[in-house]
Amino acid sequence: MTWSDGLFLFFAALTVIPAFLCVALARNIIRGAFLLMLTFWGVAGLYGMLGADFLMAAQLIVYVGGILVLILYGVMLSRRVSMAELPVGAFSIFAGAAGSLAMGAFLYQIIDATPWQATDTPATEGTIRPIGELFLGKFLLPFEFISLVLLAALVGAVILARKEFDEPAEQVDS
Amino acid sequence: MAFHVSLESYLIVSAALFVCGMYAVMTRRNAVWILMGIELILNSASLNFTAFSRYIEHQPGVDPAAGMVGSILIIILAAAEAAVALAILISIYRNFRTIETEDMQELKG
């Protein structure tokens, strides 16, 4: 077991344990969001272990800096959520645990049984240049399309979240 | 301890993340928790893409960085999805005064 294997185990634990605590045990949503932050950090570390430096930065910026802050804002904007939520029914927990465990066993079977054509030598040194070349070459259409999606999401989110006009007589359709 | 990092280790971590997210989506009643579960699922998919991209055997015609492009697209879509979902939640909260999914049962509020 080399030091990189130990590092992998550390990041894997940092990813999986807070995720489990967050979904299974946490009752307070603020606490859950901060556990989720640990998970995102762990995934960023795993990206680093995979040699995907650009993705590691993107994960930290977009997930930890963006999505998590967005979730916390969503929590704060609605007052009742920050309090402890209603207890989940026993049947619901049982069904969820059974379904998730079955899914986990299924996935593990697939991973275990498939003969992966994997190699240990990394295919590329550095990822930013190949990613840039792919985005401006082979994947130009998805790249342009995703910018359209982002624009649509931006405008749509603003329209959905803004205050309605106070005109009870006529409905403003937008 | 004979442990060596391989493709399977990453796949197992990602499967565990997926299962956690799925459990959250199935059991939670608060829409923000469900959103967090969806983020976990998207993260696991993105981790899978990157792991395959790193461990793929080099072949002519197959771009090794293409998996990372998939991961980046997933991250971008997750950001857009979170923004729109939270906007919808705010709008639902304004109408129903709750974000518990079981309390939203009317189509016309």
Q: Is B100 helix (H, G, I), strand (E, B) or coil?
A: strand
Q: Is B30 helix (H, G, I), strand (E, B) or coil?
A: strand
Q: For position A47, what pLDDT does the model report? A: 93
Instruction: List beta partners, residue B30.
Output: B100
Are A36 and B65 in contact (CB < 8 Å)?
no
Q: Mean pLDDT, consecutive 10-residue segments, chain A of 174 residues?
A: 86 93 83 91 93 90 88 71 60 88 93 83 76 90 94 91 63 52
Q: Is B103 on the interface with A (CB under 8 A)?
A: no
CA distances from B55 to A29, A118, A128, B61 (A): 37, 5, 17, 16
The ipTM estimated for the assembled molecules is 0.87
CA distances from A152 to A147, B69, B84 (A): 9, 21, 10
Nearest residue of A to residue B97, measured between CA atoms: A78
Q: For position A43, what pLDDT does the model report? A: 95
> Each residue's pLDDT tens digit in chain B (109 positions)?
567 888 889 999 999 999 999 999 988 878 888 889 999 999 999 999 999 888 887 777 777 788 889 999 999 999 999 999 888 888 887 777 777 776 766 666 5
Q: For position A82, what pLDDT does the model report? A: 47
Return d(Cα A78, Cα A76) in angstroms, integer. 5
Nearest residue of A to residue B31, measured between CA atoms: A81
Are B86 and A55 in contact (CB < 8 Å)?
no
Q: What is the pLDDT of residues A92-134, one digit of tens each?
A: 888 889 999 999 999 999 998 988 877 777 766 778 888 898 8
Q: For position A172, what pLDDT does the model report? A: 52
Are B57 and A108 in contact (CB < 8 Å)?
no
- The C-alpha of A16 sits at a distance from chain B's nearest C-alpha, in angstroms, of 6
Domain ranges of chain B: 7-99
CA contacts within 13 A on the Cβ side of A109:
6
Q: For position A26, what pLDDT does the model report? A: 80
Are B43 and A52 in contact (CB < 8 Å)?
no
- The C-alpha of A133 sits at a distance from chain B's nearest C-alpha, in angstroms, of 10
Q: For position A173, what pLDDT does the model report? A: 55
Q: Which residues of B touch A94 (CB under 8 A)?
A: none
Question: Domain B7-99 is of which CATH architecture?
Answer: Orthogonal Bundle (1.10)
A1: which 2 tokens? 């077991």
Element (H, E) at A172: none
